[in-house]
Amino acid sequence: MTIVRDSFYINGEWVKASSPETLEVTSSGTGELYATIPVGTVEEANRAVEAAAGAFAAWSNTSPKERGEFLTRISEKLAERADEIALDIANEVGMPLMLAKGIQAGIPTMTFADNAKRAAEFTWEEEVGNSTLVREPVGVVAAITPWNYPLHQIANKVAASLAAGCTVVLKPSEVAPINAYLLADIIHEVGLPKGVFNMVTGLGPVVGEAIVAHPKTDMVSFTGSTRAGKRVMQIAAEMVKRVSLELGGKSANIILEDADIAKAVGDGVFKCYLNSGQTCSALTRMLVPRSRLAEVEDIAVATAAAFAPADPITGTSFLGPLVSATQQQRVRDYINKGIDEGARIICGGVTPPEGLEKGYYVTPTIFSDVTNDMTIAQEEIFGPVLSIIPYDTEDEAVAIANDSNYGLAGGVWASTDEKAFEVARKIRTGQVEINGGAFNVFAPFGGYKQSGIGRELGQYGFEEFLEVKAIQHG
């Protein structure tokens, strides 16, 4: 049964779309129609911003404790509906259901709960000499989010904004939007004051650009491609608006000579293939000692064999399909580009996985003997494609890792954490995991270079939505 949503959430109400035009959302596992959503107009986007602007004064003056209580109730409702959210995102994005509940549904629940606690406990004022420093919400936030971890990225922006005392207009990805509707349903159910949270679906060049350009928008928080991020920045610059950008990545995973190779390579393949490689911080470049290249290749191929793609709803594999036919073709084009440029393919390729003709599947692929000037080593593929790059010295490995327009994440494996930490300090990225360190939902997330500006999650993500005022005493 196709899900039909025909309204936007504006000023505390579900408002029917003015245009009969709709956008189709397909099920990634079958390619069949999953849902339809309305196409927002500039006028509807402007109406949402006006509602957020009208609600700002009252919401920003609501006590942090009360704001936190609203966020706690949202978190609780998200937890209650975790199965429904996971099933939706498994359909929309393709992450296997067994992973989607913990990651795609679980992390947003934690993010809302963390920001609830943060609002209540944050030090809003402090004395510095003859000044009182006051933290205040930045204002109306335009939040534009992607499809790969859709509710997680929404929560990063919406939870922190609301906790800080900002009001929000959300433009979720039109590729995976139903989870955003589920959140809006929850926000309506808990009784968040009118205008504090607003949502308009549609296309980025229309709705996205309208909410960025509106004179009553004070800040833009965008997650997506570097190309689109540059466009957001250009529009926001016209009015000198604050901009937070979380963009692409091409993260290097340095495996040192003395590391536990079997453990490092196995973990590295998983970190590349999670969510079918549709992860901006995926460890897609595996840097290995040239002397151990053959050993690494054998382990990597054996590990990849365990990632045979399967239906994300009924299957038991850690690997599902890609999000869309467009993304599927994009990944296949990159695989062909790797072959054309001389990289050696050791497993996978453009041939579809057997028995999975429907849906947007790509066979997990590994290239070896990749050089860092190749397209597959420099551009973000966003699919289950790993590039193994051999190096001769530790210094060369660090240089290769840093030879990228991106700087979002990375990894280092060594015989000791101390050695891995030493190398991690040399990598110019916003995050580095050492010896398989787990993702921390409370640590700042964001990048250097063209991976973005600003941070999300935890204290640093919360403070992105605050201004600092100094009040001098006589």
Q: Which residues fall within 8 angstroms of residue 340, CB to CB, at 6 or more apart? A: none
Sheet holding 131-137, edge to edge: 125-128, 131-137, 466-472
pLDDT band of 170, cuts 50, 70, 90: very high
- List 272, 280, 347, 433, catalytic entry: 280
- Chain mean pLDDT for the chain: 97
Residue 464 designated active-site: no
31 to 87, 95, 351: CA distances (angstroms): 16, 15, 18
**pLDDT tens digits along 294-347:** 999 999 999 999 999 999 999 999 999 999 999 999 999 999 999 999 999 999
Distances (CA, A) of 1 to 4, 27, 35, 251: 9, 12, 9, 40
The confidence score (pLDDT) of residue 21 equals 96
* Domains and their CATH numbers in the chain: 3-247+451-472 (3.40.605.10), 252-441 (3.40.309.10)
Tell me the mean pLDDT in the region 109-117. 98
**Annotation marks residue 347 as catalytic:** no
Task: Please give the single-letter amino acid code of residue 128.
Answer: V
Q: Confirm if 224 and 157 have CB atoms less than 8 A apart.
A: no
pLDDT at residue 474 is higher than 90: no
Q: What is the pLDDT of residues 56-104, one digit of tens each?
A: 999 999 999 999 999 999 999 999 999 999 999 999 999 999 999 999 9
Cα-based angle 233, 235, 238 (whole degrees, multiple of 5)? 105
Buried b (16+ CB within 10 A) or exposed e, 216-254: bbbbbbbbbbbebbebbbebbeeeebbbbbbbbbbbbbb
Number of H helices, E strands in the chain: 16, 23
Task: State mean pLDDT over 166-185.
Answer: 98
Q: What is the mean pLDDT of residues 344-366?
A: 95
Edge-first strand listing for the sheet containing 22-26: 3-4, 33-38, 22-26
Q: What angle do CA 431, 246, 360 make, to 5 degrees?
A: 100
Phi, psi (rounded to 5 degrees) for 198 = -135, 150
**DSSP H or E stretch at residue 21:** none
Quick: pLDDT tens for 4-52: 999 999 999 999 999 999 999 999 999 999 999 999 999 999 999 999 9
Q: Once rounded to an integer, what is the mean pLDDT over residues 192-216? A: 98
pLDDT above 90 for 1:
no
Q: Could you say which of 44, 92, 174, 246 is catalytic?
A: 246
